[in-house]
Chain A
Amino acid sequence: MFSRAYKAAVTLPPLVWVTVFLLVPYGLMFCYSFWSVSESQTIVHSWNLANYRQLLKVDVYWQTLLRSMWIAARVTIFSLLMGYPLAYFLSFYAGRRKDLLYQLVIIPLWVSYLVRAYAWKTILGSDGVLNTLLQYVHLTRHPLEFLLYSPFAVVLTLTHIYTPFAFLPIYAALEHIPRNLVEASHDLGATPGQTFWKVIFPLSIPGVAAGATFAFVLSLGDFLAPLLLGGPSGIMISNVVVSLFGAAYNWPLGAAISLCMLVLVVSLLFFSERLEKKWSFS
């Protein structure tokens, strides 16, 4: 029913915009990753694999990448452990309060990411809220130093930030499960536990996949929480990139690392999409 002119009018402007501001920049990043920097700090437009070779050769790069993935994996697991039971509780047991509680999960998202990371800093610091509280009630005598400037602080903060992200798709998936399936399961003699594991959980897998992807990808690329709370041992891969683009002034190497992250993220998305498709039956 829509004319060719209509379709062209809605397709072309976003297509052009997206090409100029997304496709071309990604292409540029791709190009940069094969270029290099001269002694005089100018970009040399000759094509070679030196950056990628360096990534494999210099331990700190791939070790940091692995550490970042390990941090992101922990954040993902903890976010799911926080988010899934909460979503299940809201969807199946919260009754009339469901909408209100749902809003309560969303509200922290409206508080600036930066501010929440900062708040954790004020809680975890050596003369922060937690340490002074522990001393006030005489549980400890000296501040616990591992709380701040450690991978622990980064994982804690990122878990706090990404729990709602993990929660949302899981909750949506649970809400889409027809309630008569649960009734049918009970009717056929399954206990609540069996019903959960045999009916509810399998049907919520697309939501879990989406939530896990969100948490993993977004925490993998984070560089502000590590800067703020991570200390030297909490450095993540994006911090390396930031310094390569800043003080170290090696854009080509930074672009190569970014491109690796991009490829990693896109393949994760692809995998997660496959998983979601496989487990969605509607």
Chain B
Amino acid sequence: MTMTSAADAGSRAPLLSIRKVAKHFGRNVVLRDISLDVAEGEFLTILGESGSGKTTLLRIIAGFERASAGELWMGEERLDRQPPYRRRVNTVFQNYALFPHLTVEQNVAYGLRVAKRPEAEIASRVEEALDKVKMAAYAKSKPSRISGGQQQRIALARALVNRPRLLLLDEPLSALDANLRRQMQVELKSLQREVGISFIFVTHDQEEAMVMSDRIALLRSGELEQVATPREIYGRPATAYAAQFIGHTNLLKCEVRGGMVRCAPLSWSAALPDGPALFSLRPENIRMTTASTTIAGSVRVRGKVSHQAFHGATELIRVECRDGLVLVVRTPGGGGALDEVELEFCSTDAVLVRESLVRESPGRESLVRESAERI
């Protein structure tokens, strides 16, 4: 697993180091051999489907769950032996977990009060924190009297006022409606830059992960599938799962023989050892063409359009070629109804991926789904 993909992440000593962490509840294995470093000031997203173990990993870092194996280090300090209240880690909970019997102000002051800070300091820091999230006007309200978006800000202020070294966010935007969600994504990202604290953000929403993160750690069935920057994970997915989970893709099951990749009716040359190979080809890397001349390294195929899905700026079309090959192609929208088309892509855009890093367990459906079904 490459950990140094983000240029700025590898250059500094890690703030948090997760070493070979595993977690099982009875016989149910939730996390397996997780190793991951989080850099100072980094926005790291743990992305995964529900049940992938992402919340469990977050709860282990916060201290609500004990890892079955492995260690957590924050600098020179062994973190996993500390109770949650001794860790300089704060959490923004999924449903915010604001204390209903305390006012907004008392909620934000809570961490400082239990730490027995002087009242004058508490007052000024709370005020500052509420200002930062633009909620000063609601200081005296009870949490039940403010909206979901406002509760979200208070939860942030309540965590940040303690000046943690690391902030954990457990799907904090999932309770908000789509518009507010997009707005909060931007606000959260700029707030993170402003305070300079490392964020670990848990979500199941790949778009959200792409928009906000410095790096994404893709978690699947308790194992890390890939850790990389959004661009890298999109452009160079390591596995078929990563390619499919983040954006649309065409998965091509090919056979390599003598430096030629074959996936009937396609073929192109590549310096690969003989044997089966799996390629990911993004729909936007395939073009419709009318030109008769072929550029070097490009692959061409004809097919019949069987379905068109209009997405506004672009359109996804499903093309059935010979030998049962189906390709999904992203074209600029507004082309009207299509029938026979000639497709072209550059062979270097087909990314070799591994099927999966996760050991197949019996009963799980095959992970290489027919990608064309996803349009």
A residues contacting B by CB (< 8 A) are 1, 3
Tell yes or no: B84 within 8 A of A by CB.
Answer: yes
Looking at the assembled complex, report how far the CB atom of B370 sits from the nearest CB atom of chain A, in whole angstroms.
39
Question: What sequence of 0s and 1s flags, for each residue 74-111 of chain B, a beta carbon within 8 Å of any chain A beta carbon?
Answer: 00000000011000000000000000000000000000
Minimal Cβ-Cβ distance residue in B for A2: B64
A1 vs B84: C-alpha distance when bound (angstroms): 8
Q: Does B349 contact A (CB under 8 A)?
A: no
Which residues of B sit under 8 angstroms from A1, Cβ to Cβ? 59, 63-65, 84
Which A residues touch B84, using CB under 8 A? 1
Size band of the B side of the interface?
under 10
Least distance between B353 CB and chain A CB atoms (Å):
39
Q: Which 6 A-B pairs have the closest CB atoms?
A: A1-B64, A3-B83, A1-B65, A1-B84, A1-B63, A1-B59
Q: CA separation between A3 and B84, bound complex, in Å? A: 10
Among residues of A, the one whose C-beta sits closest to the C-beta of B59 is A1
Q: How many A-B residue pairs have CB under 8 A?
A: 6
Q: How far is the CA of A3 from the CA of B59 in the complex (A)?
A: 14
> Could you tell me the distance between the alpha carbons of A1 and B87 in the complex, rounded to whole angstroms?
14
Chain A residue with Cβ nearest B63: A1
CA distance A1 to B64 in the complex (A): 4
A64 smallest CB distance to B (angstroms) = 52
> Which residues from chain A contact B83 at a C-beta distance below 8 Å?
3
Q: Give bound CA distance, A25 to B222, whole Å.
A: 51
In the bound complex, CA of A3 to CA of B65 (Å): 10
- Give the shortest distance, in Å, between A221 (CB) and chain B (any CB): 42
- Complex formed: what's the CA distance from A3 to B63 in Å? 10
Which single residue of chain B is at the shortest CB-CB distance from A6? B83
Distance A1 CA – B59 CA, assembled complex (angstroms): 9
In the complex, 6 of the A-B residue pairs with CB atoms within 8 angstroms, ordered by the A residue number, are A1-B59, A1-B63, A1-B64, A1-B65, A1-B84, A3-B83
Contacts of A3 on B, CB cut-off 8 Å?
Answer: 83
- Please, what's the 1-or-0 string for B161-177, where 1 marks a CB less than 8 Å from any CB in chain A? 00000000000000000
User: Measured between alpha carbons, how far is A3 from B64 in the docked complex, in Å?
Assistant: 9
Cα distance A1–B91 in the bound complex, in angstroms: 14
Closest residue to A3 on the B side, CB-wise? B83
Interface residues of B in 30-89 (CB under 8 A from A): 59, 63-65, 83-84
Collect the chain A residues with CB atoms within 8 Å of residue B63's CB.
1
Give the CA-CA distance A3 to B66 in the complex, in Å: 10
| Docked complex Cα distance between A1 and B83 (Å) | 9
A114 to B74, CA, bound (A): 67
- B65 nearest in chain A by CB position: A1
Closest approach, in angstroms, between the C-beta of B72 and any C-beta of chain A?
16
Cα of A251 to Cα of B84 in the assembled complex, Å: 56
B297: min CB distance to chain A, Å: 56
Q: How distant is the Cα of A100 from the Cα of B83 in the complex, in angstroms?
A: 48
B64 contacts across to A, CB distance below 8 A: 1
Nearest chain A CB to B122's CB is how many angstroms away?
A: 26
**In the assembled complex, which residues on chain A have CB atoms less than 8 Å from the CB atom of B65?**
1
A204, chain B: closest CB distance, angstroms: 33
- Interchain nearest-CB distance for B18 vs A (Å): 19
Chain A positions within 8 Å of B59 at CB level = 1
Bound-state CA distance A1–B65 (Å) is 6
Alpha-carbon separation in the docked complex, A230 to B91 (Å): 66
Bits for B127-154, please: 1 = Cβ < 8 Å to A, else 0: 0000000000000000000000000000
CA distance A226 to B80 in the complex (A): 64
What's the Cα separation between A1 and B63 when bound, in Å?
7
> Closest approach, in angstroms, between the C-beta of A146 and any C-beta of chain B?
59
Which residues of chain B from 265 to 289 have a CB within 8 Å of any chain A CB?
A: none
Smallest CB separation, A6 vs chain B (Å) = 10
Nearest CB of B to A1, in Å? 4
Q: In chain B, what residue has the closest Cβ to A5?
A: B83
**Nearest CB in chain A: distance from B59 CB, A:** 8
Say how far B65's CB is from chain A's closest CB, in angstroms: 7
Closest to B64 in A: A1
Closest chain A CB from B87 CB (angstroms): 13
- Report the bound CA distance from A74 to B297 in whole Å: 94
Which among B59, B63, B83 has the greatest number of chain A C-beta atoms within 10 A? B83
Docked Cα-Cα span, A1 to B97, in Å, equals 15
Shortest CB–CB separation between residue B82 and chain A, in angstroms?
11
What's the least CB distance linking B111 to chain A, in Å? 17
Give the residue name and chain of the A residue nearest to B84 (CB).
A1
A4 to chain B, nearest CB (A): 10
A27 to B65, CA, bound (A): 40
Q: With the chains together, A3 CA to B83 CA distance in Å?
A: 8
Nearest-neighbour CB distance to chain A for B91, whole angstroms, equals: 12
What's the minimum C-beta distance from A82 to chain B, rounded to whole angstroms? 40
Tell me the nearest residue of chain A to B83, going by C-beta.
Answer: A3
